[in-house]
Structure 1
Amino acid sequence: MSLRRPIAADGPAVTALIAECPPLDTNSAYCNLLQCTDFAETCVIAEREGEVVGWISGYLPPSNPSRIFVWQVAVSAAARGIGLGGQMLDALLDRQAVAGARALTTTITEANTASWRLFESLARRRGASFVRAVRFDRATHFAGRHDTEFAVTIGLPRPVTDQA
């Protein structure tokens, strides 16, 4: 299994993988292509024997670049059960591009138990805080057409610096 930054040629495979991973929202192929190019430093591809089996899309919000926002985590059925989601998150957090992040944020619907487990496990592994609050309400923000999205914030420890 290799974990790497995406490239433009990964766009179609990312689109297909997301489509195979409900309840993830399917984005346009163009959106996924932009993530693979313009946001490559904050996205992760997991590849096994030439096949894309995992994907994380993320970005540093311009309004708060001290947070890494993880938009989607997708793992193919063929690669589930081996901790790939956690490995991809760790690989992302180890990148220089997110070294200044003091928190990881994401949104999760109540019913997405796999995502709750993944991010709770990340917080435990890193000895980090885990805070949950409503971010986008079903009635207020989605006109009743999408489940409420809960914001999750996981504190990231500051890197140790040499003070000598």
Structure 2
Amino acid sequence: MIRTTAEDVTEKTITLTTPALEDGKAMWELVDQSTLDQNSAYKYVLMCEFYADTCVVAKEEGKLIGFVTALIPPNHPDVVFVWQIGVDAGQRGKGIGSKLLNELMNRQACKNVHYLEATVTPSNEASQSLFKGIASQHNTDCEVTERFSDKLFPSDEHEEELNFRIGPFS
């Protein structure tokens, strides 16, 4: 039996920051080890380069353990669209996803944003719960509608994508 004392336990701090170019690789690797849709490694580097103000990375002791990639659509400046959110499997259940989204909404880049949107497949109950939880946390609405039919995707295995629209945020 291994015993630990208070002196043996060190508190690990999670930091939420703007991604650096080098974080793109770690984001891709995190997705590669998950059930999330894998984009090209280039996409993650591109997000870190051109959309860093609307992307957030979570790190523990310098290791990337979560991220959110998002953008403000040019024709909808009051919306931040979450492209993807991922948390390392060993870190799930700790509220990191919520912290990432709250950090995103508090960014200067989102000062004129009143809605957070994301698409989620019907089988992705964890993401549905996350986005509904954010709405509840902020005492605002979460409207769910069909966004992209499964017929739009080249694979018969891809489900439809439901749009989660959370807001308005004040």
Band of TM-score, shorter chain: over 0.9
Query: Is the counterpart of residue 6 in structure 1 residue 19 in structure 2?
Result: yes
Distance (Å, rounded) in 2 between the aligned partners of 1:68 and 1:119: 13
Which residue in the other structure is 2:78 paired with? 66
Equivalent residue for 1:17, pick from 26, 30, 43: 30
User: What do the CA deviations read for 1:89-145 (whole angstroms, capped 9, x no partner)?
Assistant: 011101110010111000000000110010000000000111011100012x12534
Q: Which runs of 4+ in 1 moved over 3 A?
A: none
What is the root-mean-square deviation of aligned Cα atoms in Å? 0.9
Counterparts of 1:57 and 1:106, CA distance in 2: 11
Q: Does the Cα contact within 8 Å between 2:113 and 2:169 map onto a contact in 1?
A: no
Distance 1:105 1:55 in 2: 16
AA aligned to 1:127 is N
Partner of 1:106: 118
TM-score, normalising length: structure 2 = 0.89
**Per-residue displacement from partner, 1:9-62 (whole Å, max 9, x unpaired)?**
11110110111221x111111111000110000001000011100010000001
- AA aligned to 2:85 is V
Equivalence for 1:142: 153
Structure number, greater radius of gyration: 2
Identity within the alignment, %:
36
Counterparts of 2:74 and 2:66, CA distance in 1: 26
Is 2:100 the partner of 1:88?
yes
Is this contact kept in 1: 2:71–2:82, CA < 8 A? Answer: yes
User: Whole-Å Cα distance in 2 between the matches of residues 111 and 145 of structure 1?
Assistant: 12
Question: Whole-Å Cα distance in 2 between the matches of residues 63 and 145 of structure 1?
Answer: 31
Unaligned 5+ segments in structure 2 are 1-13
Counterpart CA distance in 1 for 2:146 and 2:66 is 27
Which secondary structure state, in structure 2, belongs to the residue aligned with residue 150 of structure 1?
A: strand
- 1:16, 1:157 → 2: CA distance? 32
Q: What's the secondary structure of 1:8's corresponding residue?
A: coil
